[in-house]
Amino acid sequence: MAEQLAFSLSTKPALGRDNFFVSEANQLAVTTLENSDSWPNGKLVLSGPAASGKTHLAHVWAGEVAARILPALNLSARDIAELATGPLVIEDIDTMTSDDEVALFHLHNLMMAEGHPLLMTTATTPAAMLVGLPDLLSRLQGTALVALDPPDDALLSVVLLKLFADKQINLPSGLLDYVLPRIGRSFGAAREFVDAIDARALREGKPIGKRLAGDILRGDTG
């Protein structure tokens, strides 16, 4: 992975190594994925809320090791023996059905036997997941876990700037410093804020500034 990465949140997100911004909030996860040879038993669970960068990081890692990427949902419909022939990313394991749990259990065991690395992503943690298959649950809970923390100011600043740039909006001086301590600490909150202030400015013909931002942040959408 690159030493300096720039975050992208476009409608069709760029998922390469040069489109991910590294800050203290995600440094541990990035470093861990850079060193997959050191994963205990060759497997890892990457957790984080929606839009936290899990998919992006998974794609970066997959590109590095030539891994296939598959959703956990409907995993039971796949040829498990064929999947276990190389590195894999299984995304959103918290969405599995009971049949998918059985499939992941067998896939996990085959991957470990064949010595291929396995990365799994989830919005929660294995300890908090409602897994009905005890043997799978024990294997997930015995898998190394790395979490993406909520975005810090550095990361949230880049995200906000990118979202505004996508809408061809130049931020007035001081607006970012005003918004950062007042906005929710998530990428979803950043996107909702930018969408709301853009829509309000267009609808009312008002300039984007602190007054309009304050209205949006207080929940006054006009």
What integer pLDDT is reported at residue 2 of this predicted model? 34
CATH number of 25-147: 3.40.50.300
What integer pLDDT is reported at residue 123 of this predicted model? 92
Q: How many of the other CB atoms lie within 10 Å of CB of 132? A: 12
- Same fold? 25-147, 153-217: no
What integer pLDDT is reported at residue 26 of this predicted model? 83
What integer pLDDT is reported at residue 129 of this predicted model? 87
C-alpha atoms less than 13 angstroms from C-alpha of 103 in its C-beta half-sphere: 21
- Name the CATH topology of 153-217: Helicase, Ruva Protein; domain 3 (1.10.8)
Q: How far apart are CA 128 and CA 212, in angstroms?
A: 40
What integer pLDDT is reported at residue 154 of this predicted model? 85
Q: Report residue 23 as tokens.
A: 């800050």
The answer to whether the beta carbons of residues 91 and 17 sit under 8 Å apart is no
- For residue 172, which amino acid is it? P
The answer to whether the beta carbons of residues 112 and 41 sit under 8 Å apart is yes
pLDDT digits (tens), the chain, 222 positions? 433 333 343 333 444 445 567 788 888 998 999 999 999 999 999 998 877 788 888 999 999 999 999 999 999 999 999 999 999 999 999 999 999 999 999 999 999 999 999 999 999 888 888 899 999 999 999 999 999 888 888 888 988 988 898 898 988 889 999 999 999 888 888 889 999 999 999 999 989 999 999 999 998 656
In Å, what is the CA distance from 196 to each residue of 5, 192, 213? 28, 6, 9
Q: How far apart are CA 83 and CA 63, in angstroms?
A: 17
In Å, what is the CA distance from 146 to each residue of 30, 44, 80? 9, 8, 25
pTM of the model: 0.77
What integer pLDDT is reported at residue 116 of this predicted model? 97
Rg (CA), the chain: 20
User: For the chain, what are the domain ranges?
Assistant: 25-147, 153-217
